[in-house]
Structure 1
């Protein structure tokens, strides 16, 4: 009895589940003088073994024996019929299947089920009673009592493990919320980085589902194979995707059930959760464990949902920060525009008038011509400054059209090795209505796309002007040109856009002579 109490006390010395299971087997062997002991943990189906912890067999013997048991024969019988079982010889039972090669011989056997809160957790297997003979009824009683205590210890270890998991998830959520990304940090990268450790995943992916729901684009990834899939579009299971997006609840599955088997190679269990920032489209957080690793715990399912709530908040805060920075930028632009208008232009204008007054002091033709040239340059400088003022003036609530034009030109020529020349003139930001602006931006993108991808040009000029109640876009390149330009579908679309707004498209191109595109539409 003293040994039994010592064994029970030993189970309470550590709250790590793996340590508790190891001590259960060691204590059982000591308690009944068994040479070999093992604890088999029941799998999710309840009829097979997912883990097998042994005592008495060293690493070399394990290697010679090969794979661990999975629940066949007498070992599986205790899962199907969870009652204590004593045998001698072990091979005499009808369910005995024998031993694999290099397995040590075993005659006497004692098996006892372990229950946790009434459900079968696994079984204790003890063999080869030291000194020979069979395990006794007293041995069975002792091990049954130890198994009951083990059930309590395992439950406590599970609770501790769940608490530890929750703590890790909450810590990651708090750190994520506190680390508001700077300009150089994408919040999506922060999300996958912080999700990796608490989930125990080998791969964390931030994905955005396409409109048709059949493809998800991997926007950010962390962990193994992250570099292979980031910025890739992957077909996904509609069943899983719809369940997550419609219910908002995380879903557990296998990676092979989520994506194509080829894409799922090297991945095991998967957890898919939804992120729903206000004012944005829903996204997905996908966590995958390595093949053969334990599946996700129910706690992971609950905490992933909480983590995604914090992640969505982080995305909202990042968006808010960007908007605040944009407001500061707009205010600074207004100040610069005001200074340019009130100070610089007035000084240039005064300088031009003073220069004109010099004409009466000289009648030489060369001097008169020089005064005319300098005056013309001053007028040009004033015009360019006014254009700059127009592009700097901004509505505090949204990005102005001139800024969107600049961004469209930058994005449209990002793949080229040169920088295009851009000129914006007239009241672009104040006079161009939204409908015309959207068509204008689309034409800029399409026109630049053709110039960059098809013309082999090394110089492109883009000019946008709002004048005489019309907006005029001109795109010129020095590329190879082409015959029958409007036969191209993209360019035909530009003509259709002009006609829709009661405007015109003038397109001139010839092989070897570049291309000139002029798109003009009325503002009203």
Structure 2
């Protein structure tokens, strides 16, 4: 009888363990689904911490995020005091550890109320991302093998969720920087190329990099070759101490910004070789320094610095900001008077038709294109269904001769936003601009099937804007001439 009771009791215990294991597995699945269902990095990290608390039954949880060099960058905490979190972050983690009593650890703090500790590392793409800490100060609480297995499974799922969130964030950041580049290009079409755009560049760089300060330095003697320049001058600033930094001069020799201008290569740094009062003397923090170069000429240098407690810039971010800098440099060069002979061609044209022919020939020469089409969709005086007018340079063609997919693509560009570049097909680019009598679509077919680079895109966008302005100007002159002739008659 006694033996039977023992068997029944053992069976009940086994059943309880099975039920507990099933419940924990279900909870693990719910937590994994929760942390993978959001693509914001900060939200994902908080869900990881909260999920680890639920799985382990711990009173406190934290996730220590580390930089590539191993230094602690930030803590995401749930109930854990800052002092206790710092103390845990100083313990060697390795592959993880579990303690029933922190005071027994050689590096444990006996004065701390924390007793039980479970630490599990999180590795993202074979790189140490940080450590997940579970802690409890109750005397009767310890972490079991079951708790550790569940938290390690969570850490594996967390790595994938963090990676996905970071990839999404990178794509979102890339879209923001590209949008800012287009804003700068648009501003340069009709603004003062020496003041407004410079301020716009630093304002956008500060905002998008979530930085503390941004400065833009230009050559003190802009007409000299870069090897003959002796100093840069801070021409635009944004963020902290903006009014104090403006106008500061920095020598080319022996300075970080001068070195970037000479080499033409961006870099990430946490210290500057030459002190810039109000910028580099506010303490060490991560900064990106980027040259603004167009046509082998140095137009300036952008330096963007974050706050000391922020995550440092990484190589992926450097690529984003470098694209922005190249885009801005080309736009600045064009707006400052280095644009191609397009303006002269437009100024010499006697009619809108002549202007279109001259512009198409100039674009054809500039890109060494197989063909350039300037397609005018007249919308003001005749129905949209009317066959559009085509100016073709290179391979001569009429509207009816074009393949159906090309006609559809041109019509789609016409119906889209003006001054928005379309490069969906390799080796081609199209952009729509305002025409005095409707919409003009410029279509470029390159001789080789290469993609349009960022420089190509910036140049075509700016020149398209100039073309639109030139056509409006020629149209007004045309109308004034016709009015004068009518009056004379």
Q: Specify if TM > 0.5.
A: yes
Which string of whole-angstrom CA distances, capped at 9 and with x for unpartnered residues, describes residues 179-208 of structure 1?
Answer: 225454623223223322222222222212
Q: Which residue of 2 aligns with 1:457?
A: none
Q: Which residue of 2 aligns with 1:33?
A: 57
Which string of whole-angstrom CA distances, capped at 9 and with x for unpartnered residues, describes residues 281-323 of structure 1?
Answer: 4421111223322222323211222112211221122124999
Q: In the alignment, is the contact (CA less than 8 A) between 1:274 and 1:285 conserved in 2?
A: yes
Among candidates 215, 223, 236, match of residue 205 of structure 1: 215
Among candidates 132, 141, 151, match of residue 143 of structure 1: 151
CA apart distance, 1:118: 1.9
Q: In the alignment, is the contact (CA less than 8 A) between 1:235 and 1:260 conserved in 2?
A: no
Structure 1 position 126 matched with structure 2 position 143:
no
Q: Which residue of 1 aligns with 2:201?
A: 191
Q: In the alignment, is the contact (CA less than 8 A) between 1:217 and 1:234 conserved in 2?
A: yes
Q: Which residue of 2 aligns with 1:112?
A: 120
For 1:163 and 1:228, how far apart are their aligned partners in 2?
A: 35
Among candidates 224, 229, 237, match of residue 240 of structure 2: 224
For 2:87 and 2:143, how far apart are their aligned partners in 1?
A: 24
Q: Which residue of 2 aligns with 1:85?
A: 97
Q: Which residue of 1 aligns with 2:321?
A: 304
The RMSD of aligned alpha carbons is 3.1
Q: TM-score, normalised by structure 2?
A: 0.58
Among candidates 107, 113, 126, match of residue 95 of structure 1: 107
Q: In the alignment, is the contact (CA less than 8 A) between 1:49 and 1:69 conserved in 2?
A: no
Residue 173 to residue 112, structure 1, CA distance change in 2 (3 Å): same
Q: In the alignment, is the contact (CA less than 8 A) between 1:249 and 1:305 conserved in 2?
A: no
Which string of whole-angstrom CA distances, capped at 9 and with x for unpartnered residues, describes residues 388-447 of structure 1?
Answer: xxxxxxxxxxxxxxxxxxxxxxxxxxxxxxxxxxxxxxxxxxxxxxxxxxxxxxxxxxxx
Q: In the alignment, is the contact (CA less than 8 A) between 2:102 and 2:117 conserved in 1?
A: yes
Q: In the alignment, is the contact (CA less than 8 A) between 2:65 and 2:129 conserved in 1?
A: yes
CA apart distance, 1:209: 4.3
Q: In the alignment, is the contact (CA less than 8 A) between 2:122 and 2:131 conserved in 1?
A: yes
5 Å-filtered alignment, 1:146-157, equals 146-157=154-165
Residue 125 to residue 258, structure 1, CA distance change in 2 (3 Å): farther
Q: Which runs of 5 or more residues in structure 1 are unaligned? A: 332-524
Among candidates 249, 252, 276, match of residue 265 of structure 2: 249
Residue 292 to residue 151, structure 1, CA distance change in 2 (3 Å): same
5 Å-filtered alignment, 1:267-286, equals 268-278=285-295, 280-286=297-303
Residue 86 of structure 1 aligns to a residue in which SS? strand
For 1:130 and 1:29, how far apart are their aligned partners in 2?
A: 14
Q: In the alignment, is the contact (CA less than 8 A) between 1:243 and 1:251 conserved in 2?
A: no
CA apart distance, 1:255: 4.6
Structure 1 position 50 matched with structure 2 position 73:
yes
CA apart distance, 1:68: 5.3
Q: In the alignment, is the contact (CA less than 8 A) between 2:62 and 2:85 conserved in 1?
A: no
Residue 179 of structure 1 aligns to a residue in which SS? helix
Among candidates 301, 314, 317, match of residue 334 of structure 2: 317
- Larger relative contact order (Cα-Cα within 8 Å, sequence gap ≥ 6): 2
